[in-house]
Amino acid sequence: MTKITSILAFFILSLVAVQSSFQSSFAFTDVSGNSKYYEAISGLESSDIVDGNPDGTFEPAESINRAEFLKIIVEAQYNNIQGSGCFPDVPAKWFEKYICFAKSEGIVDGYDDNTFRPGDTISLAEGTKILLESLNMKVSPVQNTKWYTPYMQVAESMYLIGNLTNDPKKELTREEAAQLIYNSQEETMPSTPTPVEPPTPTETPTETPTSGLFDEEYTHLPPGKWDWNNADNDFANYRNFETNIGKFNPLKNNDGEQYGWELIGNNPDAIEFDGPAMYFYGSSGTDLINLGARGSIHSFGDGNLAGGDDVLVFEESYSLDFRTGSSLDNSDQDDDLVIGGCTPNTDTSFDIETTTIHTGPGSDTVFIRDMERAAIDAGNGSNGRTDSIDPNDGDDVVVFRGNMLDFRFFGGNGDDTAVW
């Protein structure tokens, strides 16, 4: 059983108060069919994942406190759980070892006053942070934002929020936990990919696919299967694409060691290109760049990318090479945030190494959506070439969603996380 499967299973079981001796097709008398959480709760119940109480109730509006939530997460992933004396407000009760163990593992660190407040209710933001931290998804802080902003962005990019009220400070209820889990199950539950036969070649020209959907299945890749720098805490998943899009091929160095994956589209001619790329250079500082349609630039701050903590946003843009400043000026302080989205298009005149994102050696966060023929370099490299990777690269998070036709991903030297 994989880590994600274990977490979901234990988290779901936490919603069960006492197992009922019998159930109807939908046993919860206190969950209305008009509830916006009905699909999630009934879906989990019909799969025998939640059973509710013996009296047929689910108690959807009841909250989950911090100790209960953390116990579920820790038990899902670890054995030989021990710990004590970690917070002054955590007494020698049933939850002490879970909280202290989680603190020792870096999953939680408590409040600024060195308390944990185990009996407090847990907010959506706090629950999301604990869940992502337990998955070793090391989300970097973003300057001039709330602490929870990058965690919520990752959760949104993974479709975990769904139809939940997107209020980070709201107390998490059982029905909201069910929805969160249902969303996780729909979007991230691993399963065994079903082999498919490639399309039969034909003499009749076919249109190059310009959009694609992810299959339900994806494969978990453990550390060592994708990162060539032997980081100990990497986490990577790749999803299978629809048959008409293409297939994944491993990328290997001269020693035969795998360092990444390449998605090869069914029309290889679509990635030929001999024209110029677009580059953005800059000076130090914290910058926000919004690159609009087809390369037009709308700048805020000093309008440049360089050694500061950069925020780069672009959409509806074609044939672009984005380099956050640290890949150009040898800065080792960058913690960049890149949010990318390109509209699907039929233009065949650009190259897999031209639509490129290079993040710097800091702990970068990258969200990519609908980036056709893209190369993503999470290290401090040049067009994904491994000989230029900075050995001091930080802990990066890269999340892909939507149509990612003909793209390459290169992990950095830190404890990176990639989900696509």
Per-residue CA distances from 217 to 237, 242, 266, 365, 402 (Å): 11, 11, 20, 25, 15
Q: What percent of the chain lies above the pLDDT cut of 70?
A: 35
**Cα(266)–Cα(279) distance, rounded to whole angstroms?**
29
What per-residue confidence (pLDDT) applies to 87? 94
Tokens 């953390």 correspond to what residue?
A: 70
**Cα(150)–Cα(168) distance, rounded to whole angstroms?**
11
**Cα(215)–Cα(197) distance, rounded to whole angstroms?**
15
Residues with Cβ < 8 Å from 142, sequence gap 6 or more?
Answer: 149, 150, 309, 311, 335, 337, 365
What per-residue confidence (pLDDT) applies to 294? 32
In this structure, are strands 408-410 and 258-265 parallel, antiparallel, or unpaired? Answer: antiparallel
Which span out of 24-38, 237-251, 310-324 was modeled with the highest average pLDDT? 24-38
Of residues 109 and 382, more confidence is placed in 109
**Cα(304)–Cα(308) distance, rounded to whole angstroms?**
10
What per-residue confidence (pLDDT) applies to 282? 30
For residue 149, what pLDDT band results from cuts at 50, 70 and 90?
confident
Mean pLDDT of 158-174: 80
Sheet holding 365-369, edge to edge: 214-221, 235-241, 417-419, 397-401, 365-369, 337-341, 311-315, 288-291, 297-300
Mean pLDDT of 151-167: 78
Dump pLDDT digits (tens) for 277-307. Answer: 222 233 334 444 444 333 333 333 333 444 4
Segment (H or E) for 131: helix 124-134
How many other CB atoms sit within 10 Å of the CB of residue 49? 19
